Structure 1
Amino acid sequence: MKKRIFALAILMVAVLFSNEIVAQKFQPLDKSPMDAAAFPSSYRVSDKLVKVIYSRPQLKGRSVAKLAPAGKVWRTGANEAAEITFYKDAKFGGKDVKAGTYTLFTIPGDNEWTVILSTAKNVWGSYFYKDSEDVVRVTGKVSKSEKPIEAFSIAFDGEDNNATMYLGWGDTLVSVSVKG
């Protein structure tokens, strides 16, 4: 009898603690979910050249120009500014960049975008952007996408250690070379 009471007591304690774990409050899915893009893009390749972590705002009937106005510094996504990590020294848009993590800002334009790597860390938006923290500024070439892109997206394409980073949103594609 004592063994059964002891076993029942253990079971009740386990149920009590398991309810505490289940009672945790998790945040709902973000409206602009976080994503990552890397080169090489295969998750099975651990020897990466570059990776970007960013949030993906959606147009939802709005224009790119309204959400990322021409001539103004943009966080390159939503929420926290995008972060780009180079795992080895590289050429970004033809300019030398040391291995490390940087904040990725952009200045949209009609024919070209300025793409900025900054030393700023843990930045919400671009509200406190300082050009004194710029590492490099390069020109991103603008072209038109074949299909509209609802959610802001970043992708890489290339071979070996020669890649192109693409930023896509609406009918806009911006490309910047990345070479290891």
Structure 2
Amino acid sequence: MNKSKLVSMWLLLLGMVLSFGASAQGGKASPADSVSGQAGDATITVNYSSPSVKGRNIWGGLVPYGQVWRAGANEATTVTVDKDVLVEGERLPAGTYSFYTLPGEDEWIVIFNKTAKQWGTQYDEKQDALRVKVTPRKAPAMNERLKYDVTDEGLLLSWENLEVPVKIEAVE
């Protein structure tokens, strides 16, 4: 084989490898995302993977009622607070926690778990740092992708036609 053909084949192979790598990264079904904001003087940061609705029935379907859900996709969603905070009036020490929920039709339990670095389905209730009850509400608009926001009120999970507010305030 002559040098010209060898170089052409090498460039073709390199292009295919680079093309495959770019499409594999860009086409992730549940891309990683993060959000950070303030609740008083406490900084709250959420790291999560964001699945899409894709025409599916989410609440009571893909995410069953009465079963612990990883509140995202892939690795466990994490919530970091840089100062002690009150979550729905209950004290949560500064730190990084995995974030799970126990969805219900009228009431949810949100869970801050001490094991932050874990695959989302490896939940161990014995590692819970805090569980609080919250009330979901209808979202003002449909959200195709799961998203989190940090607001003046605390944390807001939004997906499909539902919002789940979690009141978080800095400890005075």
Specify the TM-score bucket, using the shorter chain as the normaliser. Answer: 0.7 to 0.9
Give the 4+ runs in structure 1 shifted more than 3 A.
22-27
Alignment of 1:50-89 (within 5 A): 50-65=44-59, 66-89=61-84
Structure-1 separation of matches of 2:86 and 2:168: 6
Alignment of 1:10-159 (within 5 A): 25=21, 27-29=24-26, 30-40=28-38, 49-65=43-59, 66-126=61-121, 128-158=122-152
**CA RMSD for the aligned pairs?**
2.1
Q: Percent identity?
A: 33
Structure-2 separation of matches of 1:67 and 1:120: 25
Match of 2:154 in 1: 164
From the CA coordinates, give the structure whose radius of gyration is larger: 1
Assess if the C-alpha contact under 8 Å between 2:76 and 2:119 holds in 1.
Answer: yes
Q: Structure 1, unaligned stretches of length 5 or more?
A: 1-18, 42-46
Query: How big is the shift at 1:130?
Result: 1.3
Match of 2:5 in 1: none
Q: TM-score, normalised by structure 2?
A: 0.80
Comparing both chains, which one has the higher relative contact order based on Cα–Cα distances under 8 Å and sequence gaps of 6 or more?
A: 2
Assess if the C-alpha contact under 8 Å between 1:76 and 1:106 holds in 2.
Answer: yes
Q: Deviations for 1:131-162, whole angstroms, at most 9, x for unmatched residues?
A: 1100000112211012111111111211xxxx
Match of 1:4 in 2: none
Relative distance call for 1:40 and 1:23 in structure 2 (3 A) is same
Q: Structure 2, unaligned stretches of length 5 or more?
A: 1-13
Match of 2:164 in 1: 174
Structure-2 separation of matches of 1:123 and 1:74: 14
Q: TM-score, normalised by structure 1?
A: 0.76
